[in-house]
């Protein structure tokens, strides 16, 4: 069974030179919501993962660093 340990969204945005404010506003997030998902251990729901992954053109599983338990 795998579980997410770290949200990679900030790193992905940095690597792609995408401004995080423009990104989170483009998908309807607030600054607080971006912080919750990118800086805390709270994980995105499946629907949220789909939205973010689609906006970035990535598979959903690339948004988190995964480890096997």
Pick from 46, 50, 58: nearest CA to 11: 58
- Could you tell me the pLDDT band of residue 17, with boundaries at 50, 70 and 90? very high
Predicted local distance difference test score (pLDDT) of residue 69 = 63
- Is it the case that residue 2 has pLDDT exceeding 70? no
Structural domains in the chain plus CATH codes: 2-68 (1.10.260.40)
In angstroms, the CA 67 to CA 9 distance is: 17
pLDDT at 4 over 70: no
Single pTM value for the model: 0.85
For residue 5, the model assigns a pLDDT of 78
Q: What pLDDT, in 10s, does the model give residues 29-66? A: 999 999 999 988 788 999 999 999 999 999 999 999 87
């Amino acid at each position: 069974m795998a579980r997410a340990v770290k949200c990679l969204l900030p790193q992905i945005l940095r690597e792609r030179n995408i401004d995080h404010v423009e990104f989170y506003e483009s998908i309807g997030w607030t600054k607080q919501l971006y912080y919750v998902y990118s800086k805390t251990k709270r994980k995105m729901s499946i629907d949220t993962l789909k939205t973010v992954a689609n906006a970035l053109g990535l598979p959903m599983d690339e948004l988190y660093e995964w480890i096997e338990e």
